[in-house]
Amino acid sequence: MVNPDKPRRRPSPDPVAVLRGHRAAVSDACFHPTFPLLFSGAADGELRVWDTASHRTVSSIWAHGGAAGVYSIVTGAGLGNMIISQGRDGLCKGWVIEEAGLSRRPIFTIKTSTYHFCKLSLVKIPCSAHGTQSGLSGSNSDTEPQRVLIEENTGSHGVNPAESQEDEQGSSLDGNNILTIAGQESSEVELWDIKSSRKIMCLPQRCSANMTVHPTKQRGLCMAVQAFTPCESGGYVNILSSYEDGSTLWWDVRKPGLPLSSVKYHSESGMQLYPLLLMGYARVGSQEVLIVK
């Protein structure tokens, strides 16, 4: 029996356009923040650029090996005329957007040696704080999320020189040049410097990981990460990481030993995290890209 008081679910919107041309299943797609371009990656390693006005292919390159494929694509205002692709070969590559399309060779390659299901993340910076509080206070769920209390990240465990050095390093990170990804240790999160292709931090900080209760190992694989700068953080990078058991941890890079807090919204793992900062998206299907408003 249909409950008359329960609101009806809105039907899925019809696509504005269907872009055809990929020869293998599309694994990811993203819009450029300023150029009228859409980027899509497929399981055979092809990275394709589309004109969002004409809905035609601008250029196409083979970004990653066919067996590895393109798993994720990211771009952002901080990257300017560059995008980054992630393959299942453990590599993240940077590509320049040129007049004729993408550069034929990557301008950098980061060897992360991670082969998990977790997509990389750049730092999301909110354009404004309007609506943030109302968005956080509202909920579509009838059940309250399970909140997990974690010991406050203070100096109770003692501070050694390695922790002090990493704290200082976290306070000086440039969000425009940070790439976040699940680590070689599957329950950890790694931060990489894009300019130097160098790993600069691991969460939790490994020298603090010998505590009685490890903050991430018992949670399983890290399935999704999202780096962002909340308005109240003063510009410092924060990280959301979601795990196989359905829990999500909130990290501040200035305190890498322990997460600030933890919640459990789902009984199963989360595959994507959006901290209320994204406005548009592209749905992907087998060998097709759908543009949806």
Residues 75-92 have pLDDT tens digits of 988 888 999 999 988 899
pLDDT at 151 over 70: no
3-23 confidence digits (pLDDT tens): 667 777 888 888 889 999 999
> What's the confidence (pLDDT) of residue 154?
37
- Mean per-residue pLDDT, 159-174: 49
140 — pLDDT class (breaks 50, 70, 90): very low
Secondary structure, 3-state, 221-264: CEEEEEEECCHHHCCCCEEEEEECCCEEEEEECCCCCCCCEEEE
Per the model's pLDDT, the better-predicted residue between 116 and 9 turns out to be: 9
> What percent of the chain clears pLDDT 90, i.e. is strictly above it?
34
Cα separation, 240 vs 233, whole angstroms = 14
- Domains of the chain with bracketed CATH: 17-116+278-291 (2.130.10.10), 124-128+145-264 (2.40.10.480)
**Cβ(243)–Cβ(249) under 8 Å?**
yes
170-225 confidence digits (pLDDT tens): 555 666 789 999 888 878 899 999 989 999 999 987 655 455 567 777 788 888 89
- Mean per-residue pLDDT, 263-282: 52
> What's the confidence (pLDDT) of residue 291?
54
Q: Which of 29-33, 181-185, 279-283 has the lowest mean pLDDT?
A: 279-283
> What's the confidence (pLDDT) of residue 185?
83
- Mean per-residue pLDDT, 256-280: 63
pLDDT at 129 over 50: no
pLDDT at 157 over 50: no
Say how far residue 106 (Cα) sits from the centre of its chain: 21
- SS percent in the chain: helix, strand, coil, step 5: 10, 35, 50
pLDDT at 287 over 80: no
> What's the confidence (pLDDT) of residue 64?
93
> What's the confidence (pLDDT) of residue 158?
36
**Which of 39-53, 57-71, 223-237, 272-286 is modeled with the greatest confidence?**
39-53
Neighbours of 164 (CB within 10 A): 10
55 — pLDDT class (breaks 50, 70, 90): very high
> What's the confidence (pLDDT) of residue 61?
95
Whole-Å CA distances, 41 to 25, 48, 91, 141, 221: 9, 6, 14, 33, 24
User: Does the pTM exceed 0.85?
Assistant: no
105 — pLDDT class (breaks 50, 70, 90): very high
